[in-house]
Amino acid sequence: MDYRAAGVDVEAGRQFVSRIKDMVAQTHRPGVLGGLGGFGGLFEIPEGYKKPVLVSGTDGVGTKLKLAHQLDRHDSVGIDLVAMCVNDVLTCGAEPLFFLDYIATGKLNEDQLAGVVSGIAEGCKLSRCALSGGETAEMPGFYGEGEYDLAGFCVAIVEKSKIIDGSQVAVGDAVIALPSSGVHSNGYSLVRKIVETQGLSWTDKVDAFGEKTLGDVFLTPTQLYVKPVLEALKQPWGEQIHAMAHNTGGGMPENLPRCLTAGTSIQIDVNSWERSAVFRWLQEAGDVSDRAMFETFNMGVGYVVIVPPAVASDVMKFFKSQGLAAWQVGEVVAGEGEVLGLPQ
């Protein structure tokens, strides 16, 4: 017997690495040292920092992968993987430097996983972040036929004096919302349950989404906020950004308090924006309460920026010039780290 007889094809693994080399190389930025194939990815700290601080983040895509498996569409979840990591580290005001992925599968399917890596590379390019390496593990008997799992790891950098940690947040600050591109990568266990109980498949169409299939709608990748937010930090009012939050798992009730200072809360005006079709359909089809919707999904708000009211108009105007709708979704009030105004 040999390793192939046990279900692991070492030669196929080598061919896969060779196939993705060009994709990885296209993401490289200044600071990358060496190439793909070493035991570790090397990255040189950029010049110009007095006290550089490294910021790290890790995440996955969750059960959204089930859709990719069932529809045999794999490139968009690679973008999700990058977005879930880089959007998190961005909230500190940090610039993503490099990214690594971990892909585990039962049997290496070169076309399938090349699609995943192409999405990861695209997400890295859109985030100005180098894909510096990764690991592909073939684990027969652990994953089912055609199944794989993903994990991503990101390292970013920020000047110590410019770290955004919420300590400057003050009562009266404006809470500016940036839109999500849809469900992003959280809440998919509930999404799948709703589709299942409706007796639908991912290739079906429903009136709410016109000519798009359910698969088209729910495989829409997570919005990347890196470029517009980093550009915002360079604006004359950039140093007045007091806090930022990535609205992911747990929705507003869990994510917005993470960027507050002691003695403050956020008062949300839930009527300040219109729910997109995807959330209206999920709520109606699943008979989901308002409270459960806000505790599970981003509800159309993917990212939040907190600034003094004097610059709120300039901030919203800037993000709109970057192609992102922006609106004031609430304000900071005195409190104990709560999000007020949400459905009960």
Q: Is 59 among the domain residues? A: yes
pLDDT(18) > 90: no
Residues 248 and 292 in one domain: yes
Q: Judge whether 135 lies within some domain.
A: yes
Among 162, 188, 215, residue at a domain's last position: 162
Q: Does residue 168 lie in a domain region? A: no
The answer to whether the beta carbons of residues 259 and 166 sit under 8 Å apart is yes
Establish if 4 belongs to a structural domain: no
pLDDT, one tens digit per residue, over 246-266 is 999 999 999 999 999 999 999
**Distance, CA of 202 to CA of 246 (rounded, Å):** 28
Q: Look up residue 225 and give its amino acid.
A: Y
Q: What is the mean pLDDT of residues 141-164?
A: 94
**One-character DSSP codes across 32-101:** EES-TTSSS-EEPPPTT-SSEEEEEEEE--TTHHHHHHHHT--HHHHHHHHHHHHHHHHTTTPEEEEEEE
- H, E, C per residue of 105-164: ECCCCHHHHHHHHHHHHHHHHHCCCEEEEEEEEECECCECCCCEEEEEEEEEEEEHHHCC
CATH of the domain at 119: 3.30.1330.10
Phi, psi values for residue 50, rounded to 5°: -85, -45
Q: Mean pLDDT throughout 286-306?
A: 97
Same domain, residue pair 260 and 316: yes
- Which single residue is written with the structure tokens 């993000």? 319
Q: Within this chain, do residues 118 and 185 fall inside the same structural domain, yes or no?
A: no
pLDDT greater than 90 at residue 11:
no
CA distance 158 to 285: 44
pLDDT at 22: 79
Note whether 152 and 219 are same-domain residues.
no
Report which of 74, 78, 53 is spatially closest to residue 224, judged by C-alpha positions. Answer: 78
What average pLDDT score do residues 78-101 get? Answer: 98
Distance, in Å, from the CA atom of 74 to the CA atom of 56, rounded to the nearest integer, reads: 26
Helix (H) or strand (E) holding 104: strand 95-105
Please, which residues have CB within 8 angstroms of residue 187's CB and are 6 or more apart in sequence?
249, 296, 297
CATH code of the domain containing 251: 3.90.650.10
112 and 232 belong to one structural domain: no
Are 43 and 130 within one domain? yes
Say if residue 34's pLDDT is above 90.
no
The answer on pLDDT for 28 being more than 90 is: no
Which range of residues forms the domain containing residue 289? 174-340
Q: Based on DSSP, count helices (H) and strands (E) in the chain, helices before strands.
A: 11, 12
Average pLDDT, rounded, for the chain: 93
Looking at 110, 140, 162, the residue that finishes a domain is 162
Answer whether residue 19 is part of any domain.
yes
Average pLDDT over residues 150-172: 97
At 237 the pLDDT is 97
Q: Is residue 21 part of a domain?
A: yes
Average pLDDT (10-33) is: 77
User: Cα torsion for 58, 71, 106, 138, to the nearest 10°?
Assistant: -50
The arithmetic mean of pLDDT across residues 199-207, rounded, is 96
Q: Which of 238, 229, 251, 226 is nearest to 302 (CA)?
A: 251
Say what the pLDDT of residue 3 is: 61
Whether residue 139 lies inside any domain: the answer is yes
Query: Are both 93 and 182 inside the same structural domain?
Result: no
Q: How many domains does the chain have?
A: 2
**Span between the terminal Cα atoms of the chain, in Å:** 62
Residue closest to 84 by CA, chosen among 38, 127, 31: 127
Quick check: 147 and 246 in contact, CB under 8 A?
no
Mean pLDDT of 323-337: 97
d(CA 280, CA 319): 26
Check whether residue 219 and residue 269 sit in a common domain: yes
Whether the predicted pLDDT of 6 surpasses 90: no
Residues 137 and 21 in one domain: yes
**Same domain assignment for residues 142 and 269:** no
Q: What is the reported pTM?
A: 0.94
- On the question of pLDDT at 61 being above 80, the answer is yes
* pLDDT band, very low/low/confident/very high, at 334 (cuts 50, 70, 90): very high
Residue-level length of the chain: 344
Predicted pLDDT at 41: 84
Percent of the chain with pLDDT over 90: 82
**Averaged pLDDT, 16-41:** 78
Whole-Å CA distances, 229 to 160, 235, 237, 273:
18, 10, 12, 21
pLDDT at 303 over 90: yes
Examine the domain organization and report whether 184 and 152 are in the same domain.
no
pLDDT confidence tier of residue 145, bands split at 50, 70 and 90:
confident
Which pLDDT score is estimated for 325?
95
Q: Is there a domain that residue 3 lies in?
A: no
Closest CA to 305 of 223, 236, 232, 218: 232
**Tokens 């040999």 -> residue:** 2
19 class by beta-carbon count within 10 Å (0-12 exposed, 13-18 middle, 19+ buried): middle
Does pLDDT of 2 surpass 70? no
Q: Is the per-residue pLDDT at 101 higher than 90?
A: yes
Segment 240-248 shows an average pLDDT of 98
158 and 200 in a single domain? The answer is: no
Considering 129, 162, 195, which residue would you say is the last residue of a domain? Answer: 162
What's the mean pLDDT in 67-86? 96
